[in-house]
Every structure is written in C-alpha cells, then in structure tokens.
Amino acid sequence: MSFDEWFRQDRLPHIYCAGCGNGTIINCTLAAVDQMGWKKEDTVFVSGIGCSSRAPGYILTDSLHTTHGRAIPFATGVKMANPDLHVVVFTGDGDLAAIGGNHFIHACRRNIDLTVICMNNQIYGMTGGQGSPTTPKGCLSSTTPYGCAEIPFDLCELATAAGANYVSRWTSYHVKELEKAVKVGLETPGFSFIEALVQCPTAFGRRNKFRQVADHVEYLKVHSLLKAKRDRMLEAGEAIPEDMFVVGELTKRSRPAMGVKP
Amino acid sequence: MTRVEFWQGNIACAEGALAAGCNFFGGYPITPSTEVAEQMAVKLPKRGGVFIQMEDEIASMASIIGASWTGARAMTATSGPGFSLMMENIGYAAMTETPCVVVNVQRGGPSTGQPTMAAQGDMLQCRFGSHGDYAVIALCPASVQEMFELTAKAFNLADQYRVPVFLMADETVGHMREKILVPDSVERVARKPQRDDALPFHADADLIPGFGQFGTGHHVHVTGLTHDERGYPAATNPPLHAALVQRLVDKIENARDAMADYDVINPDAEQVFIAYGGPVRAVQQVLHDHPQKNIGFLRIRTVWPFPEKALAKFKNAKRFLVPEMNLGQIAREIERHVKVPVKSIPKLGGELHTPRELAAALEVKQ
C-alpha cells in the first residue's frame, strides 16, 4: 500500500501525541481499504468528535467530521442516500459509547451497511483525560481522581446484542489481526463493528502506571484473551480473570441488512 | 396545468417537497408534524427516494445533512421539542454550508407544552437557536397552498444559498384542510457545483462556494470546525474565523431583498397590521369585514432574513400592529426598523386571534 495515495500530505503533521495508538489503527484500516480495491472517489470516511475522529481529515477522500457522537447518523444519511458509496466511520469510546450510544445501538439494530472502527483508549483524550464509559473500574482519570467507580461497557457485546452482522475486537498490538478484521468488516454486508483498544500515553498511561508507551502496549497484549482460548476455558469450567478482555472475531452472521449496494 | 385538491396542510407540505424533487426524508414522529413524515413514508419509496425513521431528532438532522452531501434534496419535519434537539446539527449545517430543509409545525412551548395546539414560539429559536453567529432562511406559510409552495421554494433557497431553510408552519396551518391548486411541476434551482479548479470552500462573488458533491472525486473534507477554503481545520486562526463567520452571515443578509417575499396591502394606511403564518388569516378577515376602513397589511412569507425594506412601503403608517402566537418575537425585530410605535398583539394558549380581537385592537389608541 502506498501512503502517498490515501493520505492528505498537505495536512501533515498530524495532531496525535507521540506514542498514540490511533495511527496504528488508521494504517490498518487504510491497508484493508486498499486491499478492497476501493476507489477514493467512492469511499467516504465519517467521524464525530475526539482524537479518533480527526482521522478522516488526514485521508484523501470525501469525509465528514461531524458533531460529538453523531457520526453514525450522518453516515446513515450518506449510505442510505447513495448505497454505491463505501462508508467507514472512525469513532472513539466517548464519542460512540457515551454521547453517541443511542445512535450506535440503533445502527446495529438496523444492521445498516457501515463499518465502524472504534479506537478505544478508555479515556477522553482530546479534552485532557476524563473518565469514559469504557474506563476500567479503579482507573484514574481527571474526573475519577479516586478511581473509576462505574462498570464499563463491553462495546462488542453491546453491538452483538443490538444486531450487528460482524463484531471483532483487537488492540494496537495486533496489527495483522486487526487489518484482517477490518477487511472482513468491510466485506461483510450490514453493520460491522471493530473495536481496537489503543494506548493513550498522554491522558491514560501517565495516570495509570504506564510509564512507557511500550508498557501499555504490553499490557494490552498480555491481557488479551483469544476468543478460542476463552471458549476452551469456559468449556473446562475455568474462571475468566476479571482483568482480561476477549479478542478475536466475536460475531459473524448474515442478518438482513439496510443500505446494501443493490 | 393545475389540478384541484382538498388537502391538509401537512400533506401539502410533503407533496410540495416531492414536487421539488425531495428524495431523502429522515425524521422522527412528533405531534403536530407527523403527517408530513407519514406521507413521505408512503410516497418516497415508490419514487426511488429514501424514507428513514431515525432514533431521535438529533439523528434525523444528522441523516439529512449526510444525505445532502451525496446530492440529495433532503428534508426533515418536526415540532418544538424535536426542533430543540436539532439545534446542534442545524449549526453544523450552517457552518458546513449544507443545503437542507427543516419543517417545524410549531406547537405551544416551552418544553412539551401543548402538543396539539398552535404557536409561533420558535421564531427566534429558528434564527438564533444554535450556538455561535450564523444566518438562516425561514419561511412562514399561512395556507395549505403556501404549505405546498413555500416547501418547494425552501429547497431552491437551500440549494442556492447552501444553508438550512426552515418552513416555520404552525399547528393551525399544518392541520387545516382547504382547497389547493396543485401545479404539474415546480421550478427547481440547481446547486452551483464546485469547479474543478476551485477549492471546496472558496466562495465566489456571491459569497457562496460551489458544492463538491460526495462521490464525484472532489475529495471534500467537511468539518464543523472553523476551516479554511480547503475545508481544513483552522480553529485557532482569529482572522480566518472572523472572515468565515462573517461570510456565512453576509451571504444571506446580502440577499435579503432578493429573497424577500411579502404582500403590501393598502400602503397608504395609517394603521398597519403585520402578520405571518396563522394570524394572517385573522387579519385577512378583519380587512374583509371592514372594507370602509383603510387598514394596511404587510403579509410576510420570508420572516428570516426579515424583509425590513417592506416596512418603508407604508409611508403614512402611524402604528404597526403585530399579532403573533408568541409574546412578540417578531414585533421586537420590527421595532428595530421603524420610528412609529409597534403594538405587539400576543396570543398564547394555542388558539388563533379572532378577527374581533384584532378589530378591537385598531380602536385602542395605546
């Protein structure tokens, strides 16, 4: 894949902090898009507000950088009005799961033909590190200074329960797996949701004992539990450690979908 | 050629939209506007258009903006509570210069208020309701015929000026049934396309940039952030922000006279009614009931931008009387432009002014 082709060179340098995981997810996504053989003029990236949502601004296609939490209904309008366009949404945990939560579950229910990629850094990065609906219990943020007391969302279980055709979770460590998952998402008619856990050294890592970026990536790697292994553990009656999260292809089905190219 | 129908106002609104080529409707049910959505749900799929019922009015507004960028003539319809929810993305449409039509069949507010009763309480909200400075266009129909005609016109204005256009109806006009002459076709104004050699947000002399429709290879980046002519964020550039917002306002304000739509009746009168929407009907009745009195009447269809030059047509005016189904929202605007007294005649509660009330107001000197 040629980066020159998909990036707006005149927008560089980007705003992401040193060590940010978002670039990895954007690269994986563009690699998958490139493998699809899509043309730039037929591809639209849509986003809401937050660090992740700045991604479409660096990509040389038509793109909508919209209001906080609303990327999916904007994308719904684009896709329903012109199903010939390939529509990909970049979002983050605050954008998708907090202010945009209702739009998220309804898009899953409609099973509209979008691919939504959530860069989940478990914090509000752009506003300086406030707790989000995916901040793990006990973690520190500027609005959870005594440790997050709330239970986080499992976004993949939410998407599956709400009706999405394809759901998968990986991390910024799993670049090959993530790239493949995005590609399967792009190929799958209906709603595809890919959650990518990412490190955020500036807002999350420094408050939560990840002194180095690599420490956080290592944490994501070590605490990833492959779905196949999880299934074996469940079968054997073993307890799943609370600090582990399941990665892999979690849902793949072919329910009737909306907005599919005729 | 025309054909005669007997329609409800909300149906005429939907039919006007269809006649204008509306091919995308994203909406959410709300009294007293729901018939617009229901009619679109029946008609649009048969014409190859898209009807989608969204999860709320925030999403409805978002969906029509997304659709508009693919070139669709896109519309939503709502009433007060839904209109409040739409404000966020109405600001986005203004900032990104996205053509779209929003119908507000006004009901009594604030809050849930009077779902089935008429009001004109959102006239300032439609002009100023989203945060920041911007300008919009608002049209007010007073008949079933105008529900059709002004809805069609709203699409042309939206495409011409790249701005959200509001059809500010009220429950009486939305739900009244009367005769309508339906034309075989209506005039359509196309969006000015983005030239291949132009930047996506570079405005021409008319202050309006050519539209870079998605899917046509322009690679337009659309953002609600303050942006330069390339569409790229430039949110910390003070002169650029000032110039952008000034242009968004000026492109509409400069066209104020060009788009002004009003009737001047008895311009030599000393006492002059000014009305828009439902109260127009009561004023018409007053003029009809008192032909011996020389009563002036300025009937306004474009409320925003306010057609201030129309006021000067009444050279003998000693007083303007402004019946509104609110506490004088447009009367305040009129006061800014005239030196003679402006008498606001507010009416809350959901019922129209009666002609008798308005005739009596003529006799009260203060």
Do residues B176 and B266 share a domain? no
Q: How far apart are CA A49 and CA A55, in angstroms?
A: 10
Q: What residues of chain B lie within 8 A of the CB of A84, using their CB?
A: 215
What structural domains does chain A harbor? 3-252 (3.40.50.970)
Do residues B173 and B287 share a domain? no
- As for how many domains chain B has, the answer is 2
Q: What residues of chain B lie within 8 A of the CB of A106, using their CB?
A: 54-55, 59
Do residues B51 and B175 share a domain? yes
CATH number of the domain at B293, please. 3.40.50.920
CATH number of the domain at B152, please. 3.40.50.970
Answer yes or no: is B20 within a domain: yes
Give the closest-approach CA distance of B80 to chain A in angstroms: 21
Alpha helices in chain A (DSSP H): 3-6, 22-36, 71-81, 93, 101-110, 155-162, 175-187, 213-222, 227-235
Q: What pLDDT is stored for residue B365 in this prediction?
A: 81
Would you say residue B88 has pLDDT above 90?
A: yes
Do residues B270 and B177 share a domain? no
Confidence of residue B235 (pLDDT cuts 50, 70, 90): very high
Q: What residues of chain B lie within 8 A of the CB of A76, using their CB?
A: 26, 52, 54, 59, 62-63, 66
| Cα A216 to Cα A81, A121, A222, distances in angstroms | 42, 11, 10
| Burial (Cβ within 10 Å: 0-12, 13-18, ≥19) of residue B66 | buried
Side-chain-side CA neighbours of residue A88 (13 Å): 32
Answer yes or no: is B252 within a domain: no
Do residues B6 and B135 share a domain? yes
Choose from A10, A40, A60, A74 for mutation: most chain B CBs within 10 A: A74
Q: What residues of chain B lie within 8 A of the CB of A10, using their CB?
A: 230, 232
End-to-end alpha carbon distance in chain B:
49
Answer yes or no: is B221 within a domain: no
Q: How far apart are CA B23 and CA B40, in angstroms?
A: 9
Residues B121-125, mean pLDDT to the nearest whole number: 98
Query: Does any CB of chain A come closer than 8 Å to the CB of residue B64?
Result: yes
Span B346-366, pLDDT tens digits: 999 999 999 999 999 999 987
Mean of all residue pLDDT scores within chain B: 97
Answer yes or no: is B282 within a domain: yes
Does A42 sit within 8 Å of B223, measured CB to CB? no
Does B223 sit within 8 Å of A61, measured CB to CB? no
Do residues B17 and B140 share a domain? yes
Domain boundary among the residues B183, B202, B231 is at B183
Which residues lie below 8 Å from residue A67, measured CB to CB, with a gap of 6+?
A48, A49, B62, B88, B89, B92, B224
Q: How far apart are CA B77 and CA B22, in angstroms?
A: 13
Confidence of residue A1 (pLDDT cuts 50, 70, 90): low
Q: How far apart are CA B271 and CA B264, in angstroms?
A: 13
Does B221 sit within 8 Å of A56, measured CB to CB? yes
Residues B309-332, mean pLDDT to the nearest whole number: 98
What are the tokens at B11? 């149906």
Confidence of residue A108 (pLDDT cuts 50, 70, 90): very high
Query: Does any CB of chain B come closer than 8 Å to the CB of residue A212?
Result: no
Span A34-72, pLDDT tens digits: 999 999 999 999 999 999 999 999 999 999 999 999 999
Does A10 sit within 8 Å of B74, measured CB to CB? no
Residue B341 is part of which domain span? Answer: 262-363
Residues A213-222, mean pLDDT to the nearest whole number: 97
Answer yes or no: is B308 within a domain: yes
* Range of weakest confidence among A11-15, A90-94, A219-223, B206-210: A11-15
Beta carbon pairs, A and B, within 8 Å? 130
Answer yes or no: is B173 within a domain: yes
Query: Does any CB of chain A come closer than 8 Å to the CB of residue B68?
Result: yes
Would you say residue B244 has pLDDT above 60?
A: yes
Do residues B23 and B142 share a domain? yes
Which residues lie below 8 Å from residue B330, measured CB to CB, with a gap of 6+?
B123, B274, B276, B303, B306, B322, B324
Domain boundary among the residues B150, B183, B216 is at B183
Q: How far apart are CA A90 and CA B34, in angstroms?
A: 33
DSSP class of residue B137? E
Do residues B292 and B174 share a domain? no
The residue that leads in pLDDT, A1 or B356, is B356
Q: What pLDDT is stored for residue B94 in this prediction?
A: 98
Do residues B176 and B280 share a domain? no
Does B214 sit within 8 Å of A80, measured CB to CB? no
Residues in chain A: 262
Answer yes or no: is B232 within a domain: no
Q: What pLDDT is stored for residue B1 in this prediction?
A: 78
Domain boundary among the residues B160, B183, B206 is at B183
Span B35-81, pLDDT tens digits: 999 999 999 999 999 999 999 999 999 999 999 999 999 999 999 99
What are the tokens at B99? 């053509």
Q: What pLDDT is stored for residue B104 in this prediction?
A: 98
Answer yes or no: is B240 within a domain: no
User: At B147, is the secondary structure helix, strand, or coil?
Assistant: helix
Confidence of residue A163 (pLDDT cuts 50, 70, 90): very high
